[in-house]
């Protein structure tokens, strides 16, 4: 359920508010997308920010997966049912999980700034460097697909959130 | 408690992928075709006339016109003369904005294609359903 009623008054006013969990999902995912875009643009951020951002993204992705674990269980259970769209989303999400995890893990292994700054020195090697580049390129293709497959939800929730905000600020005195 | 259970499951899923990556590195590292290591293509940025060269970049060589800035083999990241360069000088340098724009353009392009395909798919399915419905409700006897 994406939305809930805003108490008894909402029944008469027919005004629905966005559930706290939906708000969290929307803004957290927006920050994740922004963070990923910045992290991928290595030449723009510089290596130090790239590496710290990548480590932060790894933790954030773990949280993202945790928040949507119910979906993972539900859709995995439905895999044998004859319906195409959710299977495609499931496959894209699985590929993204693999690519993103390998990207973050290989990035940690070849870290030149972030981990040495905290006294951790990794071995690295050409395999991990190639894996990092390859998985980063795969994620660049999959992240927008992952976002776009939910574009209706994004438009619906985004419109509701932004409309609420502008309505709230218009109603404020001063 | 439920959150912790889900966090554990998500961590386990990520750990399985990391373990697969380690196994790949151990048993089949040579299967990953050798290619360019972390290197970004050389790009040329034309600066507006009269603008100052960003700190840490090198000036254009022969064959460049219009006050361009040629950046070394690591792309638009700052090139410094120091032996151990952490690349800290390139942080949010405006000259490196094309890299960010490049990423955004790719993401926006893929999103646009997927959304367009989804819209087309839904539209065709809706028209197919409408045609099915019309075929079901059509009765030759109803004709005058």
Judged against a pLDDT cut of 50, whether residue A173 lies above it is answered with: no
A19 touches chain B (CB under 8 A): no
Residues B60 and B118 in one domain: yes
| CB–CB contact B87 A134 (8 Å) | no
A113 touches chain B (CB under 8 A): yes
Kind plus residue range of the DSSP H or E element containing A17: strand A16-18
Q: Does the residue B81 lie in any domain?
A: yes
pLDDT per residue as tens, chain B (144 positions): 889 999 999 999 999 999 999 999 888 877 876 655 444 443 444 555 566 655 545 554 433 333 344 444 544 443 333 333 445 556 667 777 888 889 999 999 999 999 999 999 989 988 888 888 888 776 666 555
pLDDT of residue B34: 65
pLDDT band at A9 (very low <50, low <70, confident <90, very high): very low
Mutate to test the interface with A, among B12, B15, B17, B19 (most CBs of A within 10 A): B17
Interface of A with B in 123-142 (CB under 8 A): 125-134, 140-141
Tokens of A117: 């700054």
Residues B27 and B57 in one domain: no
Eight-state DSSP code of residue B70: E
Interface of B with A in 29-88 (CB under 8 A): 29, 32-38, 40, 74-78, 86-88
Give pLDDT tens digits for A114-155. Answer: 888 888 887 778 889 899 999 999 999 999 999 999 999 999
Q: Provide the shortest C-alpha distance from residue B126 to chain A (in Å).
A: 15
Residues B51 and B113 in one domain: yes
Using a CB-CB cut-off of 8 Å, the residues of chain A touching B97 are 44
Q: Which residues pair with A4 in a beta bridge?
A: A17
Residues B64 and B8 in one domain: no
Residue of chain A minimizing CA distance to B15: A101
Q: Does the residue B6 lie in any domain?
A: yes
Query: CA-to-CA distance for A127 and A23, rounded, in angstroms?
Result: 40
Q: Does the residue B140 lie in any domain?
A: no
Mutate to test the interface with B, among A21, A38, A43 (most CBs of B within 10 A): A43
Using a CB-CB cut-off of 8 Å, the residues of chain A touching B107 are 37, 140, 143-144, 147
Query: CA-to-CA distance for B77 and A49, rounded, in angstroms?
Result: 13
Report how many domains make up chain B: 2
Give pLDDT tens digits for A13-57. Answer: 444 677 888 889 999 999 999 999 999 988 888 888 899 999 999
Give pLDDT tens digits for A68-121. Answer: 999 999 888 888 777 666 788 999 999 999 999 999 999 999 988 888 888 888
Q: Are A18 and A162 in contact (CB under 8 A)?
A: no
A45 touches chain B (CB under 8 A): yes
Q: Are A33 and B103 in contact (CB under 8 A)?
A: no
pLDDT of residue B96: 76
Q: Are A133 and B31 in contact (CB under 8 A)?
A: no
A21 touches chain B (CB under 8 A): no
| CB–CB contact A47 B86 (8 Å) | yes
Q: Are B106 and A144 in contact (CB under 8 A)?
A: yes
Q: Are A153 and B116 in contact (CB under 8 A)?
A: no
pLDDT of residue A76: 87
Residues B82 and B21 in one domain: no
Of A46, A63, A143, the CB nearest to B91: A46
Structural domain boundaries enclosing B128: 44-135
| CB–CB contact B108 A144 (8 Å) | yes
Q: Does the residue B142 lie in any domain?
A: no
Residues B23 and B49 in one domain: no
Domain boundaries, chain A: 20-163
Residues B63 and B102 in one domain: yes
| CB–CB contact B37 A97 (8 Å) | no
B4 touches chain A (CB under 8 A): no
Q: Provide the shortest C-alpha distance from residue A30 to chain B (in Å).
A: 13
Q: Are A129 and A105 in contact (CB under 8 A)?
A: no
């Amino acid at each position: 359920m994406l939305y809930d009623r805003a108490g008894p008054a909402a029944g008469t006013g027919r005004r629905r508010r966005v559930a706290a969990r939906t708000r969290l999902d929307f803004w957290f995912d927006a920050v994740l997308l922004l963070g990923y875009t910045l992290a991928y643009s290595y030449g723009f951020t510089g290596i130090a920010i790239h590496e710290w951002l990548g480590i932060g993204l790894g933790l954030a992705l773990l949280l993202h997966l945790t928040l949507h674990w119910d979906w993972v269980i539900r859709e995995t259970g439905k895999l044998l049912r004859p319906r195409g769209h959710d299977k495609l989303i499931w496959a894209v999400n699985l590929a993204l999980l693999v690519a993103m995890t390998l990207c973050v893990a290989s990035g940690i292994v070849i870290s030149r700034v972030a981990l040495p700054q905290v006294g951790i020195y990794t071995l690295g090697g050409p395999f991990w460097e190639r894996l990092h580049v390859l998985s980063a390129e795969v994620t660049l293709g999959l992240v927008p697909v992952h976002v776009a497959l939910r574009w209706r939800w994004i438009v619906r929730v985004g419109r509701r959130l932004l409309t609420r905000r502008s309505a709230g600020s218009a109603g404020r005195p001063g | 408690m439920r959150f912790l259970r889900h966090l554990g499951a998500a961590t386990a899923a990520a750990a399985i992928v990391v373990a697969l990556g380690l196994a790949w590195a151990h048993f089949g590292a040579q299967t990953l075709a050798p290619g360019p290591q972390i290197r970004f293509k050389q790009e040329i940025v034309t600066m507006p006339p009269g603008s100052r060269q960003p700190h840490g970049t090198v000036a254009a060589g022969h064959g460049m016109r219009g006050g361009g800035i040629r950046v070394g083999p690591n792309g638009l990241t700052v090139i410094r003369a120091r032996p151990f360069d952490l690349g800290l000088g390139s942080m949010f340098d405006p000259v490196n904005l094309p890299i960010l724009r490049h990423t955004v353009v790719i993401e926006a392009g893929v999103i646009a294609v997927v959304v367009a395909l989804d819209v087309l798919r839904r539209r065709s399915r809706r028209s197919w359903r409408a045609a099915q419905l019309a075929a079901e409700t059509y009765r030759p006897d109803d004709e005058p």
